[in-house]
Amino acid sequence: MIRIALTLALTLAAPVASAWEVGREGALCTLTHDEDGASVRLTFDPGVPLYTIAVSGTGPWPVAALFSMSFDGPQPNTIRTDRHVLSPDRDTLSVADRGFGNVLDGLQYNVTARAVSGAQVVTFSLEGAGPEVAAFRACGQTPSV
């Protein structure tokens, strides 16, 4: 009985694995992930078409000239832009573009990702992201006849 109680207590005390989740909000496709105080949210509006990514960390983002995302794993890549926008409280950094192939490839085929602007670095795991990114890619697409 004590062994069962101890096993249950350790299981409940273990950190909950964070997950990548694909979803929809009306016509908008979403892909979200939360981990250790950081969050990533991608959206795709097929009507425009327009992709966005919003990254929040454990503190405000600095005002900086460049934002980059680095993907580490089997298909490493680093993407940079100067077209990022900070929320009024600087807690969220976002980028919008009509094409996100490199971002989606980075998320789907690698192990970790790092979002960097100035001295702020937000690192997150890509474990389990592959199937969710594939579903996100398919979301909003019209099947060909």
Per-residue DSSP letters for 60-125? PPPP-S-EEEEEESSS-EEEEES--EE-TTSSEEEEEES--HHHHHHHHH-SEEEEEETTEEEEEE
Per-residue pLDDT averaged across 1-16, rounded? 36
State pLDDT tens for residues 9-63: 333 333 444 599 999 999 999 999 999 999 999 999 999 999 999 999 989 999 9
> Cα–Cα distance between 94 and 54 in angstroms, integer?
4
Number of helices (H) and strands (E) in the chain: give both, helices first: 3, 10
pTM (predicted TM-score): 0.84
What would the pLDDT profile of 115-136 be if each residue is shown by its tens digit? 999 999 999 999 999 999 999 9
Average pLDDT over residues 92-113: 97
The pLDDT score that the predictor gives to residue 144 is 42
